[in-house]
Amino acid sequence: MNETGALFGLFLSAFLAATILPAQSELGLGYLVITSKYSMGLLILFASLGNTLGAIINWVIGRSIASSVMRMEKIKASPRYQSITRWYQKFGRWTLLLSWVPIIGDPITVMAGIFKEPLKNFVLIVALAKTTRYVVIALFAEKFAFG
């Protein structure tokens, strides 16, 4: 496989893994780190960009939900909604550090959109979390493969 194809494939798998579609990218990154001569930094960059872009799609979905469903005054007036809103205002932004975690990460990014987390904050925190995960995976793969 040529480098362009490998990087695009990694980007695409990372992008899909960050959406609600069932996909994963960790094994692909590990495989490329172990079997290819591609730059580890470049592999991490493409995986991180794809995964962060997928999370931004989730944020946009959350914003769309907020602009349609959340306008209903009955929902906004409910004690449960008020409780969740207070919780998000206190802790929500920092839960984005868990955006890389399987199963819970995608809903967290959607909730950030629903609660109108500023895109700049969202991207910075999510990119940090997802890139850190890929760095750890790449280093682990390299260590595992090369001793």
> Per residue in 59-90, pLDDT tens?
999 999 888 865 667 777 888 888 888 888 88
As given in the structure block, the two tokens for residue 74 are 């009955």
Question: pTM (2 decimals)?
Answer: 0.88
CB-based contact 18:52 (threshold 8 Å) = yes
Domain housing 129: 3-146
As given in the structure block, the two tokens for residue 12 are 């695409």
Q: What band does 47 get if pLDDT is binned at 50, 70 and 90?
A: very high
Please choose, from the candidates 21, 46, 24, 23, the residue with its C-alpha nearest in 3D space to the C-alpha of residue 33.
46
DSSP 16-52: HHTSSSS---HHHHHHHHHH--S-HHHHHHHHHHHHH
- d(CA 72, CA 82) in angstroms, rounded, equals 13
Number of domains in the chain: 1
Residue 118: which residues within 8 A CB-CB, separation 6 or more? none
- d(CA 71, CA 57) in angstroms, rounded, equals 21
Q: Name the percent of the chain lying above pLDDT 90.
A: 65
